[in-house]
Structure 1
């Protein structure tokens, strides 16, 4: 019984860390994966570095976007889910 009460604070700390740090991060990663896979040609997007464009081609892990200065090939993971959602919400 004494050893159990000794480890209770560590167990409680792990549970708190799991629910406030690990679980939300896993949920966010899952949402980003779903967003990347739901992209389609014609979507207006903003990259994480701030480029605005429209998707013109999609490959497995990359996308070609058309910007005002031309076409760029980028990784799908470089597209910002939050900024693109805000852009499409305004329109």
Structure 2
């Protein structure tokens, strides 16, 4: 009950509407900042790390793809594709973006 009385007093003083709009703007800004730092910023960081990984690939690197294929890079084409050697007889072309991580040298021989 006292909550309604405080609102009535604030309206009489004429400060309720302006302070209410400022607090609404303040809350929206805080919400946007939290949204940015919890969603957009980590994704941008992850994208940057993946781009650096893709740019650092060279022939002979052992990699894993998004589909779980393990292989050695045999050839990197200029149009964004990689010839991936899965074993001595099997080779596949994949898009560079599908490389997830770089494996240590000798991983394929140890499997």
Identify the residue that residue 97 of structure 2 maps to in structure 1: 77
How far residue 59 of structure 1 moved from its aligned partner, in angstroms, is: 1.4
Q: Which runs of 5+ in 1 are unaligned?
A: none
For normalisation by structure 1, the TM-score amounts to 0.85
Identify the residue that residue 49 of structure 1 maps to in structure 2: 67
Identify the residue that residue 62 of structure 1 maps to in structure 2: 81
Q: Which runs of 5+ in 2 are unaligned?
A: 1-17
1:1-91 alignment runs, 5 A limit: 1-2=18-19, 3-60=21-78, 61-68=80-87, 69-81=89-101, 84=102, 87-88=103-104
Distance 1:27 1:90 in 2: 29
Instruction: List 4+ stretches of structure 1 deviating above 6 A.
Output: none
Which deviations, in whole Å up to 9, do the C-alpha atoms of 1:2-56 show, x marking residues without a partner? 2221211111111001011100100110110110011000000111101110001
CA contact (8 A) 2:60 2:72 kept: yes
